[in-house]
Amino acid sequence: MEKFSFPAAVATCGPAGYSPVAPGTMGAIIGVLDYLILFWLVGSAFYTHLIASILILALFFLGVWASNQVEAAWGHDPSKVVIDEFVGQWIALLWVPISWQTALAGFILFRFFDILKPLFIKKMEALPHGWGVMSDDVLAGIYANIVLQGLVYYGVFEI
């Protein structure tokens, strides 16, 4: 697998996965920024979340494929594969009111669940190949989203 192949570019989210420090965090930061850019471009929270829902589904399967492609050369779930963090971060922000506060809270919550891997997240890594690479971050994103939705519901953020 050559370094600049299409599967490698997808798996690393371009340059994010090549960050010398905390590539997973960099992938999540890129995810937050891209979500905010999508909102800015679309201009409507409803349509942003609708488009994001479709893109999450597409990027999940693209991430499984790309992770499978680079696994032979890079090993299973290497740190430079960050498409999973990108997708998980988008899931954390999905259908949450968009503000810098909720984006920051979503980032912190997602990284918390992604790094500590509680509540069956660690078990998802045991799935074969790209499925395991992507699924643990999907579950971390779901948990982060549930907590974030609760924080919004209980008025922690001024929306």
| pLDDT score of 1 | 46
Residue percentage of the chain with pLDDT more than 70: 97
Residue 124's identity, in one-letter code, is M
Check if the beta carbon of residue 145 is closer than 8 Å to that of residue 92: yes
Residue 134's identity, in one-letter code, is M
Whether the pLDDT of residue 159 is over 80: the answer is: no
Q: Which residue bears the tokens 């919550």?
A: 109
State the Cα–Cα distance between residues 143 and 118, nearest whole angstrom. Answer: 10
Residue 71's identity, in one-letter code, is E
Measured in whole angstroms, the distance separating CA 50 from the mean position of its chain's CA atoms is 16
* pLDDT per position as a tens digit, 85-138: 999 999 999 999 999 999 999 999 999 999 999 989 999 999 999 999 999 999
Domain boundary assignment for the chain: 20-153
Beta-strand ranges (E) seen in the chain are none
* pLDDT per position as a tens digit, 3-27: 578 999 999 998 899 999 999 999 9
Q: Which of 151, 34, 153, 152 is nearest to 89 (CA)?
A: 34
| pLDDT score of 42 | 96
